[in-house]
Amino acid sequence: AFNHGIEYGGIRRLNYFGRILLLIVLLIVCAVFAGALASEGGGFTLILVLIGFLVFFVFYIRFALLRIRNMGASGWWLLLMLVPIASNALAIALLSCPEGFAHHKKMDTPGIVVAVILGGLTLLSFIGNLASVFV
């Protein structure tokens, strides 16, 4: 709606969400399979888990780069995933910002709803973790 005829490429937020959700499900299936092998005495369980995490990591980086490109931002922003609190903000932005956000700086209604929900859950998690330190 805001892109003014500019094509950004990459993947949109719903496509990104679906791909990440599929990756998480596949990682869980891999972990369950590895756990079943471990209970039977399989010796290569750790190797299977490491391969699963490596595949997850490679595909996650690929999908995040496509999503950042769709937002109109530089792929270098993905380095924020290495900074603990900034990685939460980037994850929320990847799921909530519309196409071309880096250029027009306008959120649409679904993006605002997603950002408020995820931001609120992140804040509650932070407060809960902080409270558990002092209790």
pLDDT tens digits along 5-29: 677 888 999 999 999 999 999 988 8
User: Would you state the pLDDT for residue 44?
Assistant: 74
Q: How many CB atoms lie within 10 A of CB 80?
A: 15
Indicate whether 62 pLDDT > 80: yes
Give the lowest-confidence range in 11-15, 29-33, 89-93, 124-128: 29-33
Torsion sign across C-alpha atoms 74, 75, 78, 80: negative
Please tell me whether residue 33 adopts helix, strand or coil conformation. Answer: helix
**21-45 as b/e: b if 16+ CB within 10 A:** eebeeebeebeeebeeeeeeeeeeb
What is the identity of the amino acid at 9?
G
Beta-sheet strands, E only, within 12-121:
none
Among 19, 22, 24, 4, smallest CA distance to 95 is for: 19
Q: What is the pLDDT of residues 46-56, one digit of tens each?
A: 787 888 889 89
Q: Is 60 exceeded by the pLDDT of residue 3?
A: no
Give the C-alpha separation, 101 to 104, whole Å.
5
| Count of CA atoms in the C-beta half-sphere (13 A) of 98 | 15
pLDDT for res 1: 52
The pLDDT value recorded for residue 115 is 96
Q: How confident is the model at residue 71 (pLDDT cuts 50, 70, 90)?
A: very high
